Structure 1
Amino acid sequence: MSGSGSDDVLCVALLFCATFGVGSMSFGSIFAAAGPVLAAMGVYFISACNLHASDLGYFAFGEIGRRVVLLSEWGACFLSPIAFFILGGTTLLPCIFDGTVAGEQWSPTHWIIVMSLGVMPVILIPTLKAAAPLAYMGGLVAVLADVICIGYSLQNIQSSPRETQIQTDNAIQTFGTIMFATGTAIIIPPIQRQHTDPARLANLVSLTLLFITSIYMLIGVVTYYQFGCTAPATLLDQLPEESSARKAASALMLAHVTIAFPLLLNPTLFDMERYILGKDADHE
């Protein structure tokens, strides 16, 4: 495979792993709250708004724009992983270890500490390019987790579709979840730095985000078809608490979160190394 071809595959894997994941499990509730038509329109619109292949701040306002966007991205890079810690410590790890001594005695605080120690080796990987094998696995396990949840539900849970009575407050609240699930602004600049031919990124980002959006739509439609307005908050919530399917899906999503965490944190760590420590590793 040529250099640009391998970079294409790497960038698609990084973008997919960083974008598709935890948010995918909430699309059933999004369609339940906003109705299938409005939810589909919202997913498509917000996904289209995230189609860009360069540093938008620098493109619009030069160096000042880059620094302004940089500050906002620092906040996003820190806050998103914190949400991952909370998800892992309060939901995923307790589910996986349910029935064990640790599962009965440890509090969410203990699990969050365990998870923070677990992501440390991945955070220490110096560049996104070096984390390529993990990115491939991170995207795959996220898809498998969704497949397990949906497959188990369709096979073992009776459908009870009920039409959504749309309320403005409920519909508006779904846009935050959609933005979280389709946001690419954090990961695009570091991907652009890693690619030897950044001009190719426009098509790569468009096709990857279109594929991700299609999966989101499929999850939302299938879950809404089965549960209607009573769809649970996440795909995990529709599975029995002690079922092996829920434990397997939780373990797979935990693996994804562990990998996606340092990918989202990488832009902040890169900028800290560059501007504070004076290092420059754009193309390592």
Structure 2
Amino acid sequence: MGKPFLTMEDLKMCFSLCCSVYGIGSLGMPGNFARAGFWYASAALFVMAAINIYSTVCISKVMLEAPKHVRTFGDLGEFVLGTWGRWLVTIPHMITCILVPIAFLVLGGTLLTTLFPASFEPETWII
């Protein structure tokens, strides 16, 4: 019998990922709307959502045409552009995986100081 498609570990991972993504977004959204104004922030939110949906559709179409051995972003880049494509996809992906958690710590520390002014200094939240 084959391995199950969706296990409890997969569900835990999905829950953790959703909590981290939605948590950071919900912390920053009120400040973004306050600084940009309702109409500009709503338009920016709509444009970002449209770009994300379009890129997801494009990647899905390419994955439907790709051979079965294409499973990662690096494989996808190699399928589309050869060896250079793998590097053009893998390097920014690695940089994003390294820098996004750092940015979350810095921005989260800044937002937490604003939300809880009588608590710790910004450096304490960041570290």
Length-normalised TM-score, structure 1: 0.29
Cross-structure match for 2:93: 73
Tell me if structure 1 keeps the 8 A contact 2:24–2:108.
Answer: no
Q: Which of 1 and 2 has higher RCO (CA within 8 Å, sep 6+)?
A: 1
Cross-structure match for 2:24: 22
Q: CA deviation at 1:32?
A: 1.5
From 106, 109, 129, give the equivalent of 2:123: 109
Distance 1:11 1:58 in 2: 27
Amino acid in structure 2 at the alignment position of 1:88: G
Tell me if structure 2 keeps the 8 A contact 1:57–1:68.
Answer: yes
Tell me if structure 1 keeps the 8 A contact 2:105–2:126.
Answer: yes
For residues 174-193 of structure 1, what are the structure 2 equivalents within 5 Å? none
Show structure 1 runs of 5+ residues with no match.
114-284
Tell me if structure 2 keeps the 8 A contact 1:94–1:111.
Answer: no
Q: CA deviation at 1:82?
A: 1.9
Relative distance call for 1:41 and 1:110 in structure 2 (3 A) is: closer
Matched, 1:9 2:11: yes
SS of 1:5's equivalent in the other structure is coil
Relative distance call for 1:63 and 1:13 in structure 2 (3 A) is: farther
SS of 1:87's equivalent in the other structure is helix
Distance 2:49 2:99 in 1: 25
> Considering only aligned residues, what root-mean-square deviation do their CA atoms show, in Å?
3.6
Q: Percent identity?
A: 29
Q: CA deviation at 1:93?
A: 5.7
Distance 1:32 1:94 in 2: 20
Show structure 2 runs of 5+ residues with no match.
61-71
Length-normalised TM-score, structure 2: 0.55
SS of 2:126's equivalent in the other structure is helix
SS of 1:78's equivalent in the other structure is helix
Q: CA deviation at 1:4?
A: 0.9
Matched, 1:42 2:47: yes
Cross-structure match for 2:63: none
Cross-structure match for 1:60: 80
Distance 2:93 2:49 in 1: 23
Cross-structure match for 1:230: none
